[in-house]
């Protein structure tokens, strides 16, 4: 591996990995009912240069944030790369977020630039201008919008902006267990060190082709998948939206696939998923949520491939992975074990501690804490929250609960943070309960996660009316839909008279989870 020349800008390293033949295909689009488009490496180089020149022409201050809420497209990926190239900070936003959510992120991050779809320009520009954002551009997934129009007038030559290794490359908002979302600040070095290590660990090799079917506003699609392919100079088959049939159809042309467990569950429902279809595949990776052992086994039976499950977070990028190849440390005997997330990755320190901070013995269950070059710089403008989430000796408290066995395999058994992971998206009960509690006639509420065959886990709301008030579950859901991102909407809502509480008065969510755990069984 060659270290970057002198500029630790992540883009410089990605650009250095472009293949010699710049006219070979870097990205091929698929799906959406449109003819496939082909982008060469030269196209990516020129397009990122033009967009970086556009950003540079705005004379933004150092550390300026570029907030982006657009549909997935190659141009959206170019915008990410151009932001790095120009030395600014990328702030991706889930396309499902609605106005209250956007208002918070924009108010908190104070981006200098906002990029949104044309359809949302009216309300988003209002929010952005109010927050002091000077530049609002549009970008749609059909290669139109003011961003591209403006970039078209810019030079296609651009010197990668110099940055320091610990300058910010991106801010990713992760919802908070209490209160508002926190922006995880990730540096160029956080992302590049993780990407370089994964390139080796997962054995990326010449000729690899990645099917990219994940959204590009989270760690998994934006960093793990995209950096993996780019750092290996690998072609990507680029889907704007996950479509299980299309992915299976495209598999013979590919070697690597990455997905959240829901994607694997949906592909298993495709009759076309056969050993023949996966004959050229080298590696299937899963993460962002627990992969059920049933899915792991069924995938093995159907395809002959053992999924490599790995574990990570917005704050840390990737932390552990099942082995790709047998590890000499363990006599070359390791296997990819379903139900575990594998070993701490090279350079990552991972330990399990009791609630009182004592180290736990092999096999004992406790709080997972991590350290390493991949661990973020802190939460945006939340120094106190940042301090709280680190131990005195510098380990980050993941909020995940797990154990490490004698061989070093890490298993996640639960979370100390009150969080529901639904189809790979995080839903924080405290946030949803806050919205429900503000509705007229609501005394209080509790949101719990219950098993779901497609999304793994989904939220169910239990709502208590104020004395004398009448509440309709359907009306509560309808109101939430008008205010919150769709994946945060409880799949069911129950209006009841009281919540179960322990002697301290704390709501016993475990009892509610138990009561509703069969709601979606067999659906």
List residues binding ligand MLC (CB under 6 A). Answer: 214-215, 218-221, 241-242, 260, 262, 287-288, 312-313, 422-425, 455, 458, 486-487
Closest to ligand MLC by CB, 98 or 125: 98
CB of 258 to ligand MLC, least distance (A): 9
Q: Which does 85 bind (CB under 5 to 8 A by kind): ligand MLC, ligand AMP, none?
A: none
Phi, psi values for residue 384, rounded to 5°: -70, -45
CB of 175 to ligand AMP, least distance (A): 8
Closest to ligand AMP by CB, 399 or 465: 399
Q: 43, 103, 400, 431: which one contacts ligand AMP (CB under 6 A)? A: 400
Q: State the Cα–Cα distance between residues 371 and 345, nearest whole angstrom.
A: 11
- Judge whether 283 and 255 are in contact, CB under 8 Å: yes
Q: Which residues of 424-444 are buried (b: 16+ CB within 10 A; e: fewer)?
A: bbbbbbbbbbebbeebebbee
Q: State the Cα–Cα distance between residues 449 and 419, nearest whole angstrom.
A: 8
Phi, psi values for residue 443, rounded to 5°: -85, -50
- The total of other beta-carbon atoms located within 10 Å of residue 196's CB is 19
**Max Cα separation, the chain?**
73
Q: State the Cα–Cα distance between residues 122 and 114, nearest whole angstrom.
A: 12
Give the tokens for residue 6: 């002198």
210 binds ligand AMP (CB under 6 A): no
Q: State the Cα–Cα distance between residues 355 and 368, nearest whole angstrom.
A: 10
Q: Which does 447 bind (CB under 5 to 8 A by kind): ligand MLC, ligand AMP, none?
A: none
312 binds ligand AMP (CB under 6 A): yes
Q: Which residue is nearest to ligand MLC (CB)?
A: 423
Q: Which does 400 bind (CB under 5 to 8 A by kind): ligand MLC, ligand AMP, none?
A: ligand AMP
456 binds ligand AMP (CB under 6 A): no
User: Sign of dihedral through CA atoms 84, 86, 90, 94?
Assistant: negative
412 binds ligand AMP (CB under 6 A): yes
341 binds ligand AMP (CB under 6 A): yes
Q: Which does 97 bind (CB under 5 to 8 A by kind): ligand AMP, ligand MLC, none?
A: none
Cα atoms in the 13 Å half-sphere on the side-chain side of 402: 25
CB of 347 to ligand MLC, least distance (A): 17
Q: 161, 219, 265, 464: which one contacts ligand AMP (CB under 6 A)? A: 219
Nearest by Cα to 185 from 451, 382, 391: 382
431 binds ligand AMP (CB under 6 A): no
Give the tokens for residue 195: 């990407």
Q: State the Cα–Cα distance between residues 166 and 373, nearest whole angstrom.
A: 10
- The total of other beta-carbon atoms located within 10 Å of residue 203's CB is 14
**Who's near 514: CB < 8 A, 6+ residues apart?**
none
In angstroms and rounded to an integer, the radius of gyration of the C-alpha atoms of the chain is: 23
Q: 29, 53, 314, 411: which one contacts ligand AMP (CB under 6 A)? A: 314
Q: Among residue numbers 63 through 122, which ones bind ligand AMP (CB under 6 A)?
A: none
Query: Could you give the string, one character per residue 5-44, with x where binding to ligand AMP holds by CB under 6 A and - elsewhere?
Result: ----------------------------------------
Q: 217, 257, 311, 409: which one contacts ligand AMP (CB under 6 A)? A: 311
Closest to ligand MLC by CB, 4 or 312: 312
Query: Across the beta sheet with 349-353, what order do the strands follow?
Result: 349-353, 366-371, 396-404, 410-415
Closest to ligand MLC by CB, 4 or 338: 338
Q: Which does 341 bind (CB under 5 to 8 A by kind): ligand MLC, ligand AMP, none?
A: ligand AMP
CB of 238 to ligand MLC, least distance (A): 14
CB of 182 to ligand MLC, least distance (A): 15
Closest to ligand MLC by CB, 287 or 338: 287
- Judge whether 98 and 120 are in contact, CB under 8 Å: no
322 binds ligand AMP (CB under 6 A): no
List residues bridging with 457 in a β-sheet. 451
Phi, psi values for residue 473, rounded to 5°: -60, -45
Q: Which does 242 bind (CB under 5 to 8 A by kind): ligand MLC, ligand AMP, none?
A: ligand MLC
Using CB under 6 A, list all residues that contact ligand AMP: 174, 219, 287-290, 309, 311-314, 341, 398-400, 412, 415, 421, 426
């Amino acid at each position: 591996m060659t270290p970057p020349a002198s500029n630790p800008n992540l883009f410089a390293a990605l650009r250095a990995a472009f293949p010699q033949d710049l006219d070979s295909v870097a990205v091929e689009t698929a799906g959406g009912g449109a003819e496939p488009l082909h982008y060469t490496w030269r196209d990516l180089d020129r397009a990122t240069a033009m967009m970086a020149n556009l950003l540079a022409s705005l004379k933004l201050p150092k550390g300026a944030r570029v907030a982006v809420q657009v549909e997935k497209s190659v141009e959206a990926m170019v915008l990410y790369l151009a932001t790095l190239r120009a030395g600014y900070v990328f702030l991706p936003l889930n396309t499902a977020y609605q106005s209250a959510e956007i208002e918070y992120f924009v108010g908190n991050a104070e981006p200098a630039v906002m990029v949104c779809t044309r359809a949302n320009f009216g309300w988003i520009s209002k929010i952005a201008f109010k927050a002091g954002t000077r530049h609002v551009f549009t970008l749609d997934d059909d290669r139109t919008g003011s961003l591209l129009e403006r970039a078209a007038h810019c030079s296609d030559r651009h010197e990668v902006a110099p940055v320091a290794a610990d300058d910010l490359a991106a801010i990713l908002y992760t919802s908070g267990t209490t209160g508002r979302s926190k922006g995880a600040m990730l540096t160029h070095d956080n992302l590049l060190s993780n990407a370089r290590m994964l390139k080796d660990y997962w054995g990326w090799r010449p000729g690899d082709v990645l099917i990219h079917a994940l959204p590009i506003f989270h760690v998994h699609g934006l960093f793990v998948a995209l950096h993996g392919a780019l750092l290996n100079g690998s072609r990507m088959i680029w889907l704007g939206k996950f479509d299980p049939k299309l992915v299976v159809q495209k598999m013979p042309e590919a070697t690597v696939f990455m997905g959240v467990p829901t994607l694997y569950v949906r592909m298993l429902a495709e009759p076309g998923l056969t050993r023949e279809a996966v004959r050229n595949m080298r590696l299937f990776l899963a993460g962002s949520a627990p992969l059920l052992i049933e899915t792991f086994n069924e995938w093995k039976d159907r395809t002959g491939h053992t999924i490599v499950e790995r574990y990570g977070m917005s704050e840390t990028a990737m932390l552990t992975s099942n082995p790709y190849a047998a590890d000499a440390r363990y006599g070359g005997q390791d296997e990819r074990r379903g139900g575990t997330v594998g070993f701490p990755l090279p350079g990552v320190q991972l330990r399990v501690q009791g609630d009182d901070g004592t180290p736990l013995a092999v096999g004992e269950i406790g709080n997972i804490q991590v350290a390493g070059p991949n661990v973020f710089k802190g939460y945006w403008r939340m120094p106190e929250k940042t301090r709280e989430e680190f131990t005195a000796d510098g380990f980050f408290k993941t909020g995940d609960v797990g154990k490490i066995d004698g061989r070093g395999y890490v298993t996640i058994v639960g979370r100390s943070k009150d969080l529901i992971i639904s189809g790979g998206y995080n839903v924080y009960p405290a946030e949803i309960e806050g919205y429900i509690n503000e509705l007229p006639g609501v005394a209080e509420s509790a949101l719990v996660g219950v098993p779901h065959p497609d999304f793994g886990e989904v939220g169910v709301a239990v709502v208590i009316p104020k004395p004398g008030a009448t509440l309709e579950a359907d009306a509560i859901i309808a109101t939430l839909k008008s205010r919150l991102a769709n994946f945060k909407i409880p799949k069911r809502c129950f209006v009841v008279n009281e919540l179960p509480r322990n002697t301290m008065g704390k709501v016993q969510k475990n009892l509610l989870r138990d009561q509703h755990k069969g709601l979606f069984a067999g659906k």
